[in-house]
Amino acid sequence: DQQVKQNSPSLSVQEGRISILNCDYTNSMFDYFLWYKKYPAEGPTFLISISSIKDKNEDGRFTVFLNKSAKHLSLHIVPSQPGDSAVYFCAAPPTSGTYKYIFGTGTRLKVLA
């Protein structure tokens, strides 16, 4: 049972445009979500998070939106840059205060120069 789903395995965007990466979840008990970015030959690095008490969190070019009723979150990158090309994972801890994250399958973003 895949509790965290990323249905788009890949996405290509022109440099300067907006990248929107989507993530759906099934467990309504999730109260915290994270996005990780992974470059080849490197481990995932934390990008941005959101608590379920918020519907938006912004950090520079990165904004995460949470729609609890739809059990959906999205990561917006504006403007997209070639260095943003990577695999992006959304993740949720099923128990608060732990690192027992459930990861989605990832979306490979390619930003075209």
Partner 1 sequence: ETGVTQSPTHLIKTRGQQVTLRCSSQSGHNTVSWYQQALGQGPQFIFQYYREEENGRGNFPPRFSGLQFPNYSSELNVNALELDDSALYLCAIGLAGGQETQYFGPGTRLLVL
Chain positions contacting partner 1, by CB under 8 A: 4, 6, 9, 32, 34, 36, 41-46, 49, 89, 91, 93, 96-106
When the beta carbons of 80 and 89 are compared against partner 1, the nearer one is: 89
Compute the least distance from the CB of residue 25 to partner 1, in Å: 13
CB of 15 to partner 1, least distance (A): 26
Nearest one of 66, 37, 63, 62 to 51, comparing CA atoms = 66
Ramachandran angles phi, psi of 82, nearest 5°: -55, -35
Q: How far is the CB of 60 from partner 1 (least distance, A)?
A: 16
* Cα-Cα end-to-end distance for the chain: 38
Give Rg (Cα) of the chain.
13
